[in-house]
């Protein structure tokens, strides 16, 4: 009981300062993502409500901003998912976190049903395609959190493998394996949820 | 010839490491004969570019609030925290 009380006190002490500090950034982000101020307001409110409920899962050594943004990003993806009538969550095999496709057979060749298809699209078109972007983000969220943090270090901070290995205390072999697996899952997820719905 | 699994792993390493001539040749030969891995190589490069663009745009946005959340809504959230 006492423990619950302390955690609640801590939450009521910390969260108001986060509202002050981050709500404008969260709101701007939501406006950018949804192009709708009313929806963005709702999403930010939902984000803080979720933060109240799941405050216990916040680890003190992590950044509150990152934590809040990750909640908001779930809310945004959820919003689009509902809007697109669940188009993203239907018909794909890579769905819930932690369930992965093995793309290769026992001889390490592509399994027939998982061979890459030709996306038949120009690079420029692809990078401007809003659906492609949203699907890619949604596919990223399905990766295990450890893989995701490796990908973020690589792509957000432009770090090289050897520095990332040091930072997250991982062997190079392990790093390359994660990157390879993550890329296979991302590619497969894009093919299933974006390309096949074109 | 290397397996598809190993060649796709090499393709991922290529973006960051200087592969040796043998490894380059292995990728070259394999993707010449294997249509699936050739497509993988192309799509992997595309995904790299897309991730780079999307993520850097996002980081920029996240650090620069261009809109302000209304005071009423902030109050509302603070109220909910207090009564939780």
The pLDDT confidence band at residue A143, using thresholds 50, 70 and 90, is confident
Question: Which of B8, B55, B65 is facing A28, going by the closest CB pair?
Answer: B65
Cβ neighbours, 10 Å, residue A121 = 13
Percent residues over pLDDT 90 in chain A: 39
Q: Are B80 and A47 in contact (CB under 8 A)?
A: no
- ipTM value greater than 0.95: no
Average pLDDT, chain A: 84
Q: Please, are residues A75 and A43 in contact by the beta-carbon 8 Å criterion? A: yes
Distance to chain A for B11, nearest Cα, Å: 9
- Bridge partner list, A110: A104
Task: Test A19 with B74 for CB contact under 8 angstroms.
Answer: yes
Residues in chain A closer than 8 A to B81 (CB atoms): 11-12, 15-16, 19, 48, 52
> Tens digits of per-residue pLDDT, A52-78?
999 988 888 788 998 998 899 888 878
pLDDT tens per residue across span B58-73 = 777 777 788 899 999 9
Q: Nearest CA of chain B to the CA of A83: how many Å? A: 22
Least confident of A14-28, A127-141, A146-160, B30-44: A146-160
Among A145, A149, A140, A142, smallest CA distance to A168 is for: A149
Residue A134 has pLDDT above 70, yes or no: yes
Which of A165, A185, A1, A8 has its CA nearest to residue A103? A185
Exposure b/e, A76-115, CB count within 10 A at least 16 = b? bbebbeeeeeeebeeebebeeeeebbebbeeeebbeeebb
> Over the stretch A165-177, which tens digit does the pLDDT of each residue have?
888 788 989 999 9
Verify whether the Cβ–Cβ distance B4 to A119 is below 8 Å.
no
**Between the CA of residue A196 and those of A48, A77, A133, A136, B14, what are the distances in Å?**
36, 19, 15, 14, 28
pLDDT digits (tens, 9 = 90+) for B28-81: 999 999 999 999 999 999 999 998 887 777 777 777 788 899 999 999 999 999
pLDDT at A91: 41
The band of A3, judged by pLDDT with boundaries at 50, 70 and 90, is low
Name A108's Cβ contacts closer than 8 Å, sequence gap at least 6: B3, B4, B5, B6
What are B11-25's pLDDT values in tens digits?
999 988 889 999 999
């Amino acid at each position: 009981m006492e423990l619950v009380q302390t955690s609640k006190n801590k939450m009521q002490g910390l969260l108001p300062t986060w509202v002050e500090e981050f709500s404008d950034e969260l709101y701007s982000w939501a406006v950018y993502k949804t192009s709708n101020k009313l929806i963005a307001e709702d999403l930010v409110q939902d984000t803080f409500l979720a933060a109240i409920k799941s405050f216990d899962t916040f680890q003190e050594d992590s950044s509150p901003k990152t934590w809040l943004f990750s909640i908001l990003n779930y809310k945004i993806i959820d919003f689009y998912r509902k809007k697109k009538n669940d188009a993203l969550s239907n018909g794909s095999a890579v769905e819930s976190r932690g369930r992965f496709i093995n793309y290769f057979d026992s001889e390490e060749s592509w399994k027939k049903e998982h061979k890459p298809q030709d996306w038949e699209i120009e690079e420029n078109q692809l990078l401007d395609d809003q659906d492609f972007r949203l699907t890619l983000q949604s596919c990223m969220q399905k990766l295990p959190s450890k893989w995701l943090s490796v990908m973020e270090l690589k792509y957000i901070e432009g770090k090289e493998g050897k520095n990332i290995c040091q930072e997250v205390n991982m062997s190079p072999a392990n790093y390359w394996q994660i990157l390879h697996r993550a890329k296979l899952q991302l590619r497969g997820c894009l093919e299933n949820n974006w390309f096949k719905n074109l | 010839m290397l397996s598809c699994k190993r060649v796709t792993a090499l393709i991922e390493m290529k973006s960051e490491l200087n592969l040796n001539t043998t490894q380059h040749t292995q990728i070259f030969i394999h993707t010449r004969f294997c249509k699936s891995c050739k497509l993988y190589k192309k799509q992997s490069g595309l995904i790299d570019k897309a991730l780079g663009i999307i993520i850097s745009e996002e980081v920029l946005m996240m650090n620069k609030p261009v809109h302000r959340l209304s005071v009423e809504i902030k109050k509302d959230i603070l109220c909910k925290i207090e009564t939780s």
